[in-house]
A = this chain, B = another copy of it.
Amino acid sequence: MASLKDLAKLVGVSPTTVSFALNGRSREMRISEELTERILEAAKQLGYQPNNIAVALRTGQTKIIGLIVEDIANHFFSNLAKTIEDEASRFGYRVVYCSTENMAGKGDELINMLQRQQVDGYLITPDASMEERMTALLKRDIPVVQIDRYLPGLDCPYVMVDNHQGVVSGVEFLLKKKYSRISFVTVDLDMIQMKERKLGFVETMTAHGLFKNKKQLLELPYSSVREDAVERIQAYLEKEKPEAVLFATNYVGILGLRAIKNLQLNVPDDLAVVCFDDNEVFDLCTPAITAIRQPIESMARGAVKILMGEMGVAKKSARKQVKIQTSIVRRDSA
């Protein structure tokens, strides 16, 4: 690959001059128009591409942001990632993404790796294992924005959905439809967004005098999610026979629908279903699944905007702790 030096030699000037010309600083640095022209011409002809590694080393800026999500193969996160990539590129930034897959320690290790990679900023769906390293980043004034959830102990911006309100609206939607024996199926992750969703359910049900006992809650161990979760849900539904069920996430919803299919339950007559987080194909299910939609694009855009603000690339955001409202997508399952 041709370097700036090669280019300089070709034109017969110093590397300094070439650098100025290429970076549009000709006027400021008094490089004559004629020479600038020649340099640009030669650059094109050589197919010169600046070596970003060298630029990064010299300037201390990689123009890369690190994005850590739970699982890039998950519909929610891959869509989030896509929008984030788009948005970031509008500011001249690239995105490197990585999945923690909720493996203990993986997140910590990923931050570490991104650090070595000298990324300029971080977009993180955090878990407890990352707290220490995130604290360290923040102490060094490195821009970090949390997304989808936050660690309560951290003074760090975040963009997420209003999980509490989302579930409340979901429950109220079911109540309005005269369902009263409602169950909530979730996953036992000790993270804020899950706690908020659970609390939203318990509070609303309690407020209506409908929270009779803990059996209205099914908490699947996260580790089981890929194994016997379907059987567990099936067993639960058979035993408790709720009139309606609210699934706490995308993937729990899919597992739940599988259980319902196995049981050959009639939705919504035997069992009404609402799922937190929409899915590309929920409208194709029979009946189509009613969902609580998270506005993925707004979340992504909001997070990037705050991050760019923190990095001094865009106007600094005033509000740094953002909760976005969900909306109910009414279909046929409830």
Interface residues of A (CB under 8 A from B): 1, 49-54, 56-57, 62, 71-75, 78-79, 81-82, 85, 94, 96-99, 112-113, 115-118, 140, 254, 257-258, 261, 279-281, 283-286
23 chain-A/chain-B pairs, Cβ below 8 angstroms: A1-B115, A49-B112, A49-B115, A50-B116, A52-B117, A53-B53, A53-B57, A53-B117, A57-B57, A72-B78, A72-B81, A72-B85, A73-B75, A73-B78, A73-B79, A74-B78, A78-B78, A94-B96, A254-B280, A254-B281, A254-B284, A257-B284, A281-B284
Are A98 and B82 in touch, CB under 8 angstroms?
no
Are B57 and A85 in touch, CB under 8 angstroms?
no
Are B82 and A72 in touch, CB under 8 angstroms?
yes
Are A286 and B283 in touch, CB under 8 angstroms?
no
A-B CB proximity, top 6 nearest: A286-B286, A78-B78, A73-B82, A52-B116, A73-B79, A53-B56
CB distance from A281 to the nearest CB of B (A): 5
How far, in angstroms, from A144 to B50 measured CA to CA in the complex? 21
* 8 Å CB contact of A71 from B74, B82, B98: B82
Inside 8 A of A286's CB, which chain B residues have their CB? 261, 285-286
A50, closest chain B residue (CB): B116
A258, closest chain B residue (CB): B284
How far, in angstroms, from A82 to B77 measured CA to CA in the complex? 12
Inside 8 A of A97's CB, which chain B residues have their CB? 97
How far, in angstroms, from A117 to B57 measured CA to CA in the complex? 12
Q: Known contacts A53-B118, A258-B283: does B85 contact A98 (CB below 8 Å)?
A: yes
* 8 Å CB contact of A285 from B53, B54, B85, B285: B285
A74, closest chain B residue (CB): B78
CB distance from A108 to the nearest CB of B (A): 13
Are A94 and B117 in touch, CB under 8 angstroms?
yes
Are B285 and A284 in touch, CB under 8 angstroms?
yes
A140, closest chain B residue (CB): B1
CB distance from A37 to the nearest CB of B (A): 23
Q: Give the most central of A78, A99, A115, A286: most B CB within 10 Å.
A: A78
